[in-house]
Amino acid sequence: MKFGALLTSAGINIGLCVLFLSLYSILRKQPQNVKVYFGRRIAEENSRLREAFILERFVPSTGWIVRSLRCTEDEILATAGLDAVVFNRILVFSIRIFSLAAFLCVLGVLPLNYFGQDMLHVRIPSASLETFTIGNMEERSRWLWVHCVALYIISAVACLLLYLEYKHIARLRLLHVSRAAPNPSHFTVLVRGIPKSTKESFSCTVESFFTKYHASSYLSHQIIYKVGKVQKIVTGAKKAYRKFKHFKGTTVDQRCRPITYRCGLCGASSNSFQLLPVEPEQEREKLDVNDSDLSLPDQDCGAAFVFFKTRYAALVVSEILQTSNPMKWVTSLAPEQDDVYWSNLWLPYKQLLFRRIATLFGSIVFMFFFLIPVTFIQGLTQLEQLQQKLPFLKGILKKKYITQLVTGYLPSVILQIFLYTVPPTMMFFSTLEGPVSHSERKRSACCKVLYFTIWNVFFVNVLSGSAISQVNALSSPKDIPMQLARAVPVQATFFTTYVLTSGWASLSSEVMQLFGLTWNFIMKYILRMKEDDNFVPSFPYHTEVPKVLLFGLLGFTCSVLAPLILPFLLVYFFLGYVVYRNQVRNRRLNFDFM
């Protein structure tokens, strides 16, 4: 890859970043987009911009950047929770360590790589990026000790900073636990694998077991029932109640009118409902029934919530082994009420092991299927070798700007498009595993996405790119290690363009919330539907945490091999520091991982 191709990719992504950030600063001021960018947290300074026409609403500004930088760690903790603080500390650690790495490697290692061999250096825009890597050094060069010293310094400082960060986060977590208000989930234990008895029901079995072994601390219990369709009906009724309760105290036209959508494409019309007379409050209270009063058949699920008198007792019961059979009377601390994933509570505990094995196998198969697009992408970065194998490409790639676009920008864009399918797939696999809480499901998906990106984006790109450029080495197996050692630094040039496309551009699109913005427009102006006031957008930890950790891995592995990547990584982490602080500051999060 030529240095000019890197400049082409950098120019395109810088232009996209400036465009997206400018659009965001305008769109966030518009009254119709308040729910997209702020959720329930409506900023007070935006209230004056909702009625009259004000020119300020249509002029890009940097005020949101200043407010994000001024936001303290305590404010983030109070607004978004401990997870957001830990995520912010990852970015702070990355900025610190890679600032040091950029200073050492760009000033000390990069010149040695560039002048490593006696050769005629052309103008830098026409130079190959390989001349800036360690692959340009002579074998057994007397200057390789500089690379080793820089690597040892970076590793030692990274360990020191990690220790300090761990100490700081451990203190924050201890304060978070000690200052947390009492919650019913702190006194509740989820029991699964309850043995079925022909003589008594699950409820009697649970009561007799905990009365016998934990009589001093046991309080009560609640058996979990699989109500199936009834649960869906109740859930739908609750949603309908939340949507219609705003009619209380308002005047509603009781005449039936045809409703026609105004999108110009949907010509169908339907009759609106006719408002029925409201019953007196006393009669409505008499007709109210609880879920437990439904005279419909329920099905015991072999699981229960058990309540204890003290928090310490619940913690002890959740940690100890109840019986010699590890598949029976399995206990764990219960998730919070809003965090419970009810569908998986109905799964038999014996199925969980098989489900985890099946999802692991499915994830591995999905990873191997992803080798096809990755290998194709690496072929685009090795056009010289592909032109030798496929001569018909020479005519297509005669023009210089096409070559720069194909090698410098197109591979990263194609890889990024394929990577968009990974988080939903891994979330589906994590759901099949059987987690009992939404946060556990997201944490599992986060780990799967992390392993997937490290394997497919890092290792597979290195191995497939090396195989393409060193096909002739396969005829001599004893030379394969040497050929790989020479070819691996070359792949660092692809990772530099990947940081630009998947890093800079994706951050600007993250702050823009393109999907949420589009869906909000469709809901409001095409479907003419009312906003859901109960919807709270959550921060996509399972997509953003793996991405940040992947860039950290690229920085550590390529800092000495290809120091040119470090300035682009620093820009990414600085931009991410501003964007992510703005996101967690303005969007309330649903669940915690910690």
pLDDT, tens digit, for every residue of 16-33? 888 888 888 888 887 777
Query: What string of DSSP letters covers 138-198?
Result: PTT-TTHHHHHHHHHHHHHHHHHHHHHHHHHHHHHHHHHHHHPPP-GGGGEEEEE-PPP-S
Same domain for 198 and 103?
Answer: no
Whether pLDDT at 508 is above 60: yes
Q: What is the C-alpha to C-alpha distance for residues 580 and 594, in angstroms, rounded to an integer?
A: 19
What would you report as the CA-atom Rg of the chain, rounded to the nearest whole angstrom?
29
Which range of residues forms the domain containing residue 458? Answer: 3-179+354-586
Query: Does 228 reside within a domain?
Result: yes
Same domain for 149 and 205?
Answer: no
Query: Does 138 reside within a domain?
Result: yes
Top-confidence residue, 528 or 368 = 368
Domain boundary, last residue among 273, 301, 335: 335
Same domain for 155 and 193?
Answer: no
> The pTM is what?
0.77
Same domain for 410 and 542?
Answer: yes
Same domain for 232 and 115?
Answer: no
Same domain for 437 and 557?
Answer: yes
Q: How is the chain split among helix, strand and coil, in percent rounded to 5?
A: 65, 5, 25
In a 3-state reduction of DSSP, which class is residue 219? strand
What's the rounded mean pLDDT across residues 372-389? 60
Q: Give 461's contacts (C-beta < 8 A, 6+ positions apart).
A: 374, 377, 378, 491, 494, 495
Query: Does 362 reside within a domain?
Result: yes
HEC string for 41-78? CCCHHHHHHCCCCCHHHHCCCCHHHHHHHHCCHHHHHH
Whether pLDDT at 255 is above 60: no
Q: State percent of the chain over pLDDT 70.
A: 69
Whether pLDDT at 307 is above 90: yes
* Spatial contact of 438 and 341, defined as CB atoms under 8 Å apart: yes
CA 504 to chain centre: 16
Domain boundary, last residue among 271, 302, 335: 335
Specify which of 112-121, 143-152, 285-294 reaches the highest per-range mean pLDDT: 143-152
Query: Does 340 reside within a domain?
Result: no
Query: Does 483 reside within a domain?
Result: yes
Q: What is the C-alpha to C-alpha distance for residues 548 and 491, in angstroms, rounded to an integer?
A: 20
CA 497 to chain centre: 21
Residue 258's pLDDT is: 47
Closest CA to 330 of 352, 310, 362: 352
- Of the pLDDT bands very low, low, confident and very high (cuts 50, 70, 90), residue 377 is low
CA 343 to chain centre: 23
Q: What is the mean pLDDT of the chain?
A: 76
Same domain for 441 and 544?
Answer: yes
Same domain for 367 and 396?
Answer: yes
In a 3-state reduction of DSSP, which class is residue 579? helix
Same domain for 131 and 200?
Answer: no
Burial class (CB in 10 A: 0-12, 13-18, 19+), 136: middle
* Spatial contact of 39 and 587, defined as CB atoms under 8 Å apart: yes
β-strands 258-260, 218-226: how paired? unpaired
Sign for the CA dihedral angle at 136, 139, 142, 145 comes to positive
Domains contained in the chain, number: 2
Residue 592's pLDDT is: 45
The string over 350-381, giving b where at least 16 C-beta atoms fall within 10 Å of a residue's C-beta and e elsewhere, is: eebeebeeebeeebeebbeebeeebbebbbbb
Same domain for 230 and 149?
Answer: no
Angstrom distances, CA of residue 282 to CA of 237, 238, 246, 287: 20, 20, 20, 9
Same domain for 414 and 544?
Answer: yes
Crossing angle for the helix pair 371-381 and 460-469, nearest 10 degrees?
Answer: 50
- Of the pLDDT bands very low, low, confident and very high (cuts 50, 70, 90), residue 261 is very low
Domain boundary, last residue among 280, 306, 335: 335
Element (H, E) at 205: helix 202-213
What are the backbone angles phi and psi of residue 511, rounded to the nearest 5°? -70, -25
Place of tokens 């990106």: 453
Residue 186, number of CB atoms within 10 A of its CB: 18
Same domain for 170 and 195?
Answer: no
Q: Give 92's contacts (C-beta < 8 A, 6+ positions apart).
A: 165, 577
Query: Does 282 reside within a domain?
Result: no
Whether pLDDT at 438 is above 80: yes
Whether pLDDT at 128 is above 80: no
Query: Does 19 reside within a domain?
Result: yes
Specify which of 95-104, 137-146, 336-345 reaches the highest per-range mean pLDDT: 95-104
CATH number at residue 195: 3.30.70.330
DSSP 266: -
Query: Does 270 reside within a domain?
Result: no
